[in-house]
Amino acid sequence: MRIDYNKGGLLAPSLIQPVRGEDKRTSHRRSKVMLVFPPDWFPSEPYLSLPTLTAFIRAAGHDVVQKDVNLEMYDWYFSGDFLGKVLKRVPQQLDRLKKLSRIRDLTEAEMDLQIALCECTRNRIGELSEKAEEAKRIVRSPDLYDINKLEWAINVFREVTSTISLVYAPARICMPPMETDLSYKVFMSSEVLEAVEDTQVNVYRDVFEHILKPAIEAEQPEIIGISIVLQQQLFSSMTFCSLIKEQFPHIHVTIGGNTVTRLRDVLPQSPKLFALFDSAVVYEGETAFLRLIEAIGSHGELAHVPNLIYRDAEGIHVSIATYAENMAELPPPDFDGLPLEKYFVPDRVLPYLATRGCYWGRCEFCDHGEGYTAGYRTKKIQEIIQEISHLKEKYQTRHFHFTDESYPPALFRKLTNALVEHKMDIAWTTHIRFEKSLLDDQVWQTAQESGCKYLHMGYESGSERVLQLMDKATTRDVIQRSLELSSRHGVWNHIMGFFGFPGERYEDAKVSTQLLEDNKEHVHSIGFGTFDLSKHTPVAKNPEKFGVTFYKNPDWDLALDYYFTVKDGLGVEDAERVFEEFERDHYEGWDLKIFIREYVFLYVAHFGTNKLPALQFKIAPEDNQSVLTSVS
């Protein structure tokens, strides 16, 4: 789909102003850039933002160093070297607690911490180091496909991070990473700034010194770009920004990514936070970042760089120009320079994106479209096949994660047919809506033949009344038939839903869960939660329409969602109770020993079946006849 540059104030490519430099001879000189992916994220595949930017910037003639600090951090965490540093911090932590006890009585948790620290002997840390190295070996080898060994490895990772937490307490270092908590509020810039300076809890200061600082010293980049995907990554990202500006003040530091775009209205009003970096790229980053590189390289004006917020001696400025990329002109992602062999998988999984935006774009609860200014766009099927083939051959992998927000039905059919026609022999996973246009047995037969193994399916609710409130434009019948078709054709479906959309009642929630229970033989795994009122959603923008009242705490300046009340249906606390009830009473076959999506995907691809009862905590009676049998 072509971009309409007459809408939304977008600049046409012809109107992107050339760099105005002090010296025109240097306006296109070669620059060196370092791109950083910060913690915390599960280290099972590269995040696509770095390889996408790298391909675009390298094509323009600049040097790019890709640094997945998140991956290298977890590789370091689970090593004798890092655990040796943990051992050295034990006396410091005990001394801190001793001093604290002279001021006040220790809490029960602090006394438990003292006891646990005393158990961190040299022998204990030595044993844990050996287990950590073995756990890494397992997840990077075919042993991952032995569920008992994989479960052991994941438990070791949890044991190690729990031990690490003892010396950084009251911080909690967790596996899975998204549960890590530095004991500061990420939705307050004042607390983020405090966390940056807190040498007791801020493990990312040590990560900087061990991983990022040596790389900067070796590579000597002129510009460092940090991609912030989750709001939680603000802690590590701001720590890195602060230390870079302190120790390498000549380097221009810019931040970008989904979270930065969602905070675009707040960042110009947060001068203390903005003092940690020089600029922020919002929305799509390729052309904007390239123009930023050119402007810095020629000592030019940043005012003409689109999608940019920047600071100078006069203050913080917001570019009035926005730009959206033409998908046809973007090169395939470039993973060169990333240590692909270090990811925590035995078979390399590469991400690939064929579309931008959501083809549906009407769900009232969703704010994914905030990352784009030009709406939905896609590459042509011929380009998609060529680029997948290129990546498969270059990086010697057949496993792909298509990270599109929701794969369009027409493109889904074209893709599956083309993969079969070209005999691509890949295994792939993506995200999809329940669509009436896909209710055809041949569609799913072709999908199976094309290597489709695992689908994240946006269920949200099984109540048609609630689905209409959400503007999901699907029905219970479409959902049920889709589950049956995907299941019958060997595709693992992971069903994503939530409770508490404004107007949903308790009986709606029960109808929703009952639909899944009635089809449990076709539902493989679930991921449920409660409704969050995100600041950029249609509900937040039109609260009266949905009977919603929400409160903005002025101190919570970085908040991306709000506490709210509703006129009708389940309130926030009601939804939590319904969720807890569902968690307690749902079909036991949905409780898995592993929940990491890449691992489930690899299991389905490896064993050639979506009937994998060995993954279940407790094998349901109806699943007891199935066993894991490799098709290799």
pLDDT band at 177 (very low <50, low <70, confident <90, very high): confident
Distance from C-alpha of 521 to C-alpha of 483, rounded to nearest angstrom:
9
SS3 592: strand
The CATH fold of domain 30-71+201-318: Rossmann fold (3.40.50)
How far lies 105's CA from each of 10, 90, 98, 473, 619, in Å? 61, 21, 10, 58, 47
Summarize pLDDT for 389-409 with one digit per residue, the tens: 999 999 999 999 999 999 999
- Residue 407 and residue 454 in contact, taking contact as beta carbons nearer than 8 Å: no
- Residue 537 and residue 467 in contact, taking contact as beta carbons nearer than 8 Å: no
The CATH fold of domain 347-623: pyruvate-formate lyase- activating enzyme (3.80.30)
| Helical H segments across 104-143, by residue range | 108-118, 122-139
* 24 has a pLDDT exceeding 50: no
- Residue 54 and residue 82 in contact, taking contact as beta carbons nearer than 8 Å: no
Q: Would you put residue 354 in left (φ > 0), alpha (ψ -120 to 50) or beta? A: alpha
Residue whose structure tokens are 């929400």? 550
Q: What are phi and psi of 314, to 5 degrees?
A: -90, -10
Alpha carbon 553 to its chain's center: 27
pLDDT band at 373 (very low <50, low <70, confident <90, very high): confident
Residue whose structure tokens are 């280290």? 43
Distance from C-alpha of 416 to C-alpha of 446, rounded to nearest angstrom:
6
Distance from C-alpha of 418 to C-alpha of 59, rounded to nearest angstrom:
28
Name the helix (H) or strand (E) containing 570. Answer: none
The pLDDT of residue 22 is 39
Give me the chain's average pLDDT, please. Answer: 93
The verdict on pTM exceeding 0.75 is: yes
- Residue 241 and residue 255 in contact, taking contact as beta carbons nearer than 8 Å: yes
Residue of 612, 351, 404 whose CA lies nearest to 491: 612
* 629 has a pLDDT exceeding 60: no
Distance from C-alpha of 282 to C-alpha of 289, rounded to nearest angstrom:
10
Per-domain boundaries in the chain: 30-71+201-318, 74-182, 347-623
Summarize pLDDT for 66-109 with one digit per residue, the tens: 999 999 999 999 999 999 999 999 999 999 999 999 999 999 99
Scored b (16 or more CB within 10 A) or e, 233-264 reads bbbbbbbbbbbbbeeeeebbbbbbbbbbbbbb
